[in-house]
Amino acid sequence: MSIKMRLCMAGGKKAVFHCWNQISEMIEPSPLRNGHTGGIIKHPVGIIEYEDGTVASVPDATIIFCDTNKLFSKLEKEFAKWCEKNPGSSRGNDRINRVYDDNKQNADDNSDYTKIAKIGA
């Protein structure tokens, strides 16, 4: 089994993304009358590895993937094939093409390392 890891920026530092995880926290009931009854709060985190080899669990909103344009390109092609097989769905394909074209115009270079350098600058 092969696991694909992705280059990313986490907290402004270069890193390699390994996987998603979910953290659960118990919340005690409120001591106030008619207060909340307590429960469990869950939130996603990413497991990443920094350049120096340290592994960290970071909030999902702090992760920026560097290969997103390549993935959108691949997904757009797969979606276009699906739309060919399902003719009534062409409006969605037009929207995907517009989003992909906008992303492509905003990218100066498709190199993963160049993107990391630009994001970290």
- What is the pLDDT at residue 70? 79
- What is the pLDDT at residue 82? 80
d(CA 93, CA 103): 15
Q: Note whether 96 and 111 are same-domain residues.
A: yes
| In a domain? residue 33 | yes
Q: Note whether 52 and 79 are same-domain residues.
A: no
Domain that holds residue 93: 67-120
- Residue pLDDT, tens place only, 19-49: 999 999 999 999 999 988 889 999 999 999 9
- What is the pLDDT at residue 84? 79
- What is the pLDDT at residue 118? 45
| In a domain? residue 32 | yes
- What is the pLDDT at residue 6? 87
Number of domains in the chain: 2
Alpha-carbon torsion 71, 108, 119, 116, what sign?
A: positive
DSSP β-bridge partners for residue 44:
22
Q: Note whether 107 and 73 are same-domain residues.
A: yes
Q: Give the chain's residues under pLDDT 50.
A: 107-121
3-state SS class at 82: helix
| In a domain? residue 103 | yes
**What is the CA angle 82-87-90, rounded to 5?**
75
What is the CB neighbour count within 10 angstroms for residue 49? 16
Q: Note whether 59 and 11 are same-domain residues.
A: yes
- What is the pLDDT at residue 88? 62
